[in-house]
Every structure is written in structure tokens, then in C-alpha cells.
Amino acid sequence: MTHLFEWLRKLLTPPKAFSWQTLILLSLFSCILSFFATDTVQNILATFGWIFLIWGVAWGTSEKPFYINDVCLSPWITGALVCVFIFGGWSDGRPSLSLIWWPSVSGVIATIPEFIEKGLKIRIPPLASRQKIIVLWTSHFLVSCWIQFYFVVQTWLNQYPSLLIDNVTPSAFVVKVGSQPPRSPRGALILNLMEPQLLTQLDNQPWSYIERWLLNQQQQIEDTRKLVQKELPQAEEDLWWRFDSKILSSQSGYNLQLLAFWQGPRSKEEVYVIEKLCQINQVDLEAENPASDPSTSIVGTFKCSPAGSIRWVNSNKSDLTP
Amino acid sequence: MLTPLFPVQTILFQFLFLLIAIAIEGYVLHWKLNLGRKNSIQYATSINLISTIVGWLIFFFIEGQLSPSLRAQMISYIFFDRFFNAPVSSFSSFIFSAGIAMFFAAFLIKYISLDILQFLLQNPTTNTNNPPQNQSRKNRLSKFRIYGSANQEISKATVVLLANAFSHSAMLALLIVRSL
């Protein structure tokens, strides 16, 4: 532990007044001061702290450059600091501008020495180094484009979350890396969210009310679905979900079949469908409660099983019996 | 939430295509324009990198402007290598015309960048620089090159077109091999 402190102290003591160590110490000083300050002064002090830190690191790493296999890494460190300063942190979830611009900024920083000659004057770089500068800038900007493409794909997946269910193996552009927890497509989510709504509408209601409801079934389910979709965050892929419902009679009542068809980007020619089965059963309360009113004694119960997994069907087949 | 889809193949394929294109175009530039081996490879590197970058910028711009149905088709092509809900013929003709448009756009960008590069690096075509060592070559290739500055511009365009054609054919061959 003391070794570490000794090494740090040796590294950071300035050999003369104007050197990179002073700058780093100045930036530390500004940071500490900014803790005790209020709004505007705090911002100014923090900015100065950053500027000193960047300047100090740039100077220090150019005097003692980091090399891995003959590739100089010091502009990348300075570039990272500049990007974090200008664009904020490396947060994922939204396109991280600082990560995207990091290679380009590092490339520019690596070529800054060509633009400055002795005495800190700005010059147009000599012929001999211009070719190197152009190749450096363009190759680093290309790496930035690649990183930006990654974030574009991420934006697409935010709008089309159901695509992750599907098989991305035939793709010539992307590959699925790592194992993820099994996800359910958005259609299954919507169907499952419709269940509590339908429950309040249909459970323990008089049978006559249920029969009237079932006459208008398509419209009722459509309205419920629209309500549910409004609650969820907007996603562009909703344009390709088609919902349907079917009533089938069973011996104790009716079976309500809710269907969600995915007709958007998919890996096969066929369409896939998710279905959710609900039972509406007739229950006679008169047996338990003989004194109750006959017209309301027959009620219906509503019970659903969770939405099933995806099933590929031929898109021409419109009749889907379970 | 970190997306688990990484564009690994995009990066690898593009890197491979760049290497091949730089090698082929460097050779063609050296052969036809007599620029010197190192110089022509460096020119080829720069113009290929610039045209790739312009291609990416155009892609990012177009992606932001697409309507939802077109964007869904593009996503379908990128993720699943097919188009959906559509007759196959209309989209394969679309891909064919897109390929031709990309070829000519690449040629245009490369020609303009070569001009700008030669201006920035102040290296005129070596026809005017090394007359003695090129005598026999000049006599042999005189049907490709007519002396005079105006016609040198024509020959440079032809050479860039030729280099572009060679490199794109190599890329097409690789794509065909890959899809086999």
C-alpha cells in the first residue's frame, strides 16, 4: 500500500513549475474546490478541473507514451477524457455519443502534433505527413461509423422488440451474442394484459349479460385491446400485429380464443400466431343459495390460461382450430 | 438494456472488402497511372476509406428518412436476409438497381477524392514527372494516353473506373461465394 503511494507521489511531483504534473494537481485542486461551491461557480470550477485534467493527461501521455505492440495508445486515453467531458458518460440505453465519437476524437488528437510547430504556432502540416493524417482520420472515423451502426440496430430493436424471439442466424450483418432470458413477443404481452380487463367485464356477471356481450364480441375485444395498447410504450412494430378472436362453444359455456398474428419482419415465409384461451363457464348459484333471485342466479365465470408460445402457420389458412 | 445483436459480420466483411479493394485498386493505379507502388497504395487506401465513409453517411441519412413500411423491409433484410409480405421479383430488381447505383456512386466519389488528394498532396500524375523511365511504356500504352493535360484527365477517369470495376467484381465474387 505504501509502495503505491510512493509511486503515485513520485509520479505526480512536478519536476519544474510548468509541467504536466502541475496541471493534474491543479485539476484535483479545482475538483475539490468545486465541492464547496454553489451553482455557477461550481460549474466553472468543474469545467476548469476537466480542462486541466485533459491537458495534463495529454501532455503526460505524450511524454511517456503507452505502447501496446507498437500501437500508441495515449491519444485514446486523452480522447476518452475529451469525449466524456463533451458528451457525458458512457451510459447504455440511449445512443452513447461519447462512445461513438471516441475513435474520431482520438484520431484527431493523435494528429494534433503535426499541426503545431515549435513555439506553439499553428501551421499547415508538411507534405510528408499529410497522407498519414488523412489515412488516420478516415480510418478512425470509419470505426466511429461502425459503432454508430451498432446503436442504430439498438434503436431498431427498441421499436421492434419482438424480433429478438426470431432466429437471426441467416443474417449477413448481425449476430446474436450471449444467452438472454427468454422473452415473449409483444403480442403475448398485449394478450396477457387484456386478461384483467376482460375479467372485470365478464367474471361473475349474470349469464344474460354475458350472452349480450358475446354478440358484440369483436367490437368489445377490439376496444379492450386499444385500451391496453394505449397503456404500453409506443412501438413501431404494432403496425404488423393483427388481432382476432373466436368464440367456440363448449359443454359448460363458451371458449374464447384470442389470437395475435405477427405479419412483420420474420425469418420464414409463414406467419406466426400466439393464442390465448379463455373459458367462460356457466355456474348455477341457485344450488348454493336457494333464496337468490332466479334471473341473476346463473352467472358466468371467466378464466384464462397464459398466452401460449409462438406457432408458425401458413398465412393462407384463415381457420385456426386449436 | 444492452442489445445482444452485434454487427460483427458487417465489420468483418467491410474490413475484408476494404483490404481487397485497396490491394486491387492500388495495383491498377500503379499499373495505369504510373504513380509508384507506395504512392498508389496510399491513394487507394485514402479513396476507399473516403468512399466507405460517404456510403455510411448516406446510409444513416436514408435510414432516418424512411417510412415505417420501408424501414421494416430494410430491417427484415438486415436481420433475416429476406423481404416479407412482398413479391420476390420487385425486391430483387430493387437490389439489382441499388447495386448499380452504388457502383457508380463509388466511382464518382473515388474520382473526386483522387483529384482532391492529388491537389492536397501536390503530386501530379507522374507522366509529367518521369519522362525518361517511361519512354518504352509510353510508346506501348500510347493508345491509352494522349499527351496533353486535358486528355490526362480523361485517362485518369478511365483508370479510376477500371480500378473500381475490378474491385467491385472481386467483392461481387466474394458475395456469390458466400451465398453458395
The string of pLDDT tens digits covering residues A201-244 is 888 888 888 888 888 888 888 888 888 888 888 888 888 888 88
More confident residue, B51 or B31: B51
pLDDT above 70 covers a percentage of chain A that reads: 86
B4 and A180: CB-CB below 8 Å? yes
b/e for A263-275, b at 16 or more Cβ within 10 A? ebbbbeeebbbbb
A145 and B53: CB-CB below 8 Å? yes
* Residue A212 near chain B (CB below 8 Å): no
pLDDT of A66 above 80: no
C-alpha torsion angle, residues A127, A131, A137, A142 (rounded to 10): 160
Provide the pLDDT for residue A92: 54
Nearest by CB to residue A153, choosing from B3, B14, B122, is B3
Tell me whether strands A121-122 and A175-176 are parallel, antiparallel or unpaired: unpaired
Q: Residues with Cβ < 8 Å from A240, sequence gap 6 or more?
A: A262, A263, A264, A265, B72
Residues A286, A306: Cα–Cα separation, whole Å: 31
Provide the pLDDT for residue B132: 44
* Residue B61 near chain A (CB below 8 Å): no
Assign residue B36 a region: left if phi > 0, alpha if psi is -120 to 50, beta otherwise? left
Q: What is the pLDDT of residues A123-173, one digit of tens each?
A: 887 877 888 899 999 999 999 999 999 989 888 888 888 888 888 888 888
All three cell numbers of B61, joined, read: 441519412
Candidates A90, A91, A131, partner chain B, best to mutate (most B CBs within 10 A): A131
B4 and A178: CB-CB below 8 Å? yes
pLDDT of A38 above 70: yes
Instruction: Give the mean pLDDT of A7-11.
Output: 74
Nearest by CB to residue B6, choosing from A145, A150, A240, is A150
pLDDT of A319 above 60: no
Mean pLDDT computed over every residue of chain A: 80
Nearest by CB to residue A138, choosing from B46, B71, B81, is B46
Other beta carbons within 10 Å of A124: 8
A240 and B72: CB-CB below 8 Å? yes
pLDDT above 70 covers a percentage of chain B that reads: 81
pLDDT of B138 above 60: no
* Residue A164 near chain B (CB below 8 Å): yes
How many inter-chain contacts (A to B, CB under 8 Å) are there?
Answer: 131
Instruction: Give the mean pLDDT of A306-311.
Output: 82
Candidates B8, B75, B79, partner chain A, best to mutate (most A CBs within 10 A): B79
From the number of C-beta atoms within 10 Å of its C-beta (0-12, 13-18, 19+), residue B115 rates as middle
* DSSP-assigned letters across all residues of A224-249: HHHHHHHHSPP-GGGGGEEEEEEEEE
Residues B49, A103: Cα–Cα separation, whole Å: 15
CB A83 within 8 A of CB A102: yes
Task: Tell me whether 0.95 is exceeded by the ipTM.
Answer: no
Provide the pLDDT for residue A210: 84
Provide the pLDDT for residue A320: 42
Instruction: Give the mean pLDDT of B87-110.
Output: 87
**Identity (one letter) of the amino acid at B51?**
S
Chain B residue with minimal CA distance to A138? B49
Return the residue matching grid coordinates 507521489.
A9
Provide the pLDDT for residue A318: 47
Q: What is the pLDDT of residues B28-41, one digit of tens each?
A: 988 888 878 888 89
Distance to chain B for A69, nearest Cα, Å: 21
Q: Is the pTM of this model over 0.90?
A: no
* Residue A134 near chain B (CB below 8 Å): yes
